Amino acid sequence: LDPSFGIAYENLADVDDDWPGNPDGTDFAKETIGKGWKLFGATGVRLGAHGIIEQMPEDALNERIVGFFYYNGYFVNPDKRLAADWYRKAAEQGNLVAEYEFGLSLEDGDTDIPKGDPRASEEAAKWYRKAAEQSSPDAEVALGNMYRDGNGVDQDAEAAVQWYLKSAEQDDTDGQVSLGDMYLGGQGVGYDPREALNWYSQAADLGNPAAETAIGDFYRNGRGVPRNFSLARKWYLKAAASENADAHYNLGLMSDLGQGTRRNREDALLQYQDAARAYAYDADGGDGHAEARLGTMAATGQGVSQSEVVAYVWYARAYYDLKPGPERDRVLQMMSVLKLKAVAWLAEPRLVNGLIQSAIALQQMVVQPP
């Protein structure tokens, strides 16, 4: 049995169940994939999928599912550009899910418009808005992010908060975490760490590892609550069980400093290494935050070999992938500090082999999931 058959079957059914506007989606997914299996069997399932794709009636739900096939490589070779074309077709017919997914494709550079081109951001905002106005929680968060960052729309922190709130009130944990971030940063609302903790707690109750890490930060730093290293470790450990890179990193710091536990450099190193693997896995998908943290770890030798050249490379990638803001400004500052050191390092021929070995190790770290 081709394993992609079961994966596609389960994921398509889950996707259609989760999204509003597709009450019969699960039945349709089962019928479509079941037909391919019945007609073509395990050995011909990929060829069969091509046939089904070609024969599918051109309606929005079918087009979105075909896009889903191509995006994830279910039954067909993965092709994000082709997936974007199918999402666009479905979006133009008013499919709620496809409107959001085509917005993502635009932001990720999977269309004819290059990533980072202002036209892509403006077009993505248009499609996110269409889906958000139909109460899509993911689209509400995406549109909130654009207002927060001034990406594709005029920057408006208050509008960002309103979109996050709409999503959070639907028990969407990304919306709840984003709303907590706004209260913690005093963006679009007054600075209110207790209200931030309230939203993080709601998301953590639903199992969101980013929220669990944020609560750990509250207790570790004594922000809005009494400082409690034991509780901080408890929340970091919960998040680390979901391979949250920030949680692993913070556990490493706490073991390194003896916070909430006896000082243990060996455990700290293990946590830093777990963090590095998780950050590298995220960074392979263009996560600027992960890339920036890997730059810091390479610069300081936390869990990885210390290398100012590798640190500079990670910071450069982060600068490209991060949205404008304080973290991106900090990355640029670190690049300036490291630039002269990195150039001097490269000028030493005897160290070139070390750079090559670092690059090989870096590549291996990126391609291996945590």
List, in order, residues 6 or more apart from 164 with CB less than 8 Å away: 140, 141, 144, 175, 178, 179, 182
pLDDT for the residue numbered 270:
87
pLDDT for the residue numbered 344:
55
What CA–CA distance (Å, rounded) separates 20 from 111?
A: 26
pLDDT for the residue numbered 342:
55
DSSP state of 323: P
pLDDT for the residue numbered 180:
98
Residue stretches of the chain with pLDDT short of 70: 1-59, 61, 75, 285, 340-370
pLDDT for the residue numbered 191:
95
What CA–CA distance (Å, rounded) separates 125 from 229?
A: 41
Look at residues 224, 228, 280 and name the one whose alpha carbon lies nearest to residue 249. Answer: 280
In this structure, are residues 111 and 47 in contact, taking their beta carbons and an 8 Å threshold? no
Q: Is 197 helix (H, G, I), strand (E, B) or coil?
A: helix
pLDDT in tens, 310-330: 888 888 888 888 877 788 888
pLDDT for the residue numbered 286:
73
pLDDT for the residue numbered 269:
84
pLDDT for the residue numbered 343:
55
pLDDT in tens, 33-76: 454 444 444 433 443 444 445 555 566 767 888 888 888 887 67
In this structure, are residues 112 and 84 in contact, taking their beta carbons and an 8 Å threshold? no
**Residue 331 tokens, joined:** 């990355």
Look at residues 337, 268, 344, 261 and name the one whose alpha carbon lies nearest to residue 302. Answer: 268
Look at residues 111, 63, 78, 61 and name the one whose alpha carbon lies nearest to residue 7. Answer: 78
pLDDT for the residue numbered 48:
41
